[in-house]
Amino acid sequence: MAEQIYGFEARNLVMVCVDEEEKEEYKGRLYHQYKEEPVGFDNVLQMIKRMEEFYDTLNYPQASTKARCFVEKRKHGRREVTKVTDREKIFRQKGELGTFVIRVQYRQNATWQGQVTWAEGQETRSFRSALELLKLIDNALETEGGGHEE
């Protein structure tokens, strides 16, 4: 049933549940098949960083470029990840303000390309960068909530 609603299947699907907006900053939870409990985020930067860490752990999709940084971090060896929950359980999660299923297909040019489905609007859009993904999410939440609070 979930495949019919969201239209795609991938091992790196992430369900983003947005629960709060404070000063134009979103807070919520991430869900994926490799962790029972949600991964919380307090802002969009944390959301992007936690998703990037997830893709690095899976090594899927593979990054086409090495991320630049000021200080090199010690590398941890690639570890094997095992599914611990089923997709149906993930698809039952809902955000207070909005719910999005994200499928990153490529990590090229130091950003992401893929598809995002806005669950409440039952619409899927492609994105060509992480910034475009954030703009799509923001647009859906503005539509759903009637605009940002000032």
Domain count within the chain: 1
Q: Do the domain assignments include residue 74?
A: no
pLDDT in tens, 53-75: 999 999 999 998 887 788 877 66
pTM of the entire predicted model: 0.86
Residues 84-135 pLDDT 10s = 988 889 999 999 999 999 999 999 999 999 999 999 999 999 999 999 999 9
A 10 A CB-CB count for 147 gives: 9
Average confidence score pLDDT of the chain? 88
CA 148 to chain centre: 21
CA separation, residue 99 to residues 95, 123, 136 (Å) = 5, 11, 12
Closest to 139 in 3D by CA, of 4, 18, 3, 42:
18
pLDDT for 149 equals 47
DSSP structural state of residue 113: E
Residue 51 lies in a domain: yes
Range of the domain at 47: 2-65+82-143
Rounded to an integer, what distance in angstroms lies between the CA atom of residue 58 and that of residue 68? 20
- In this predicted model, what pLDDT tens digit does every residue of 29-51 receive, in sequence order? 999 999 999 999 999 999 999 99
| Residue 76 forms part of a structural domain | no
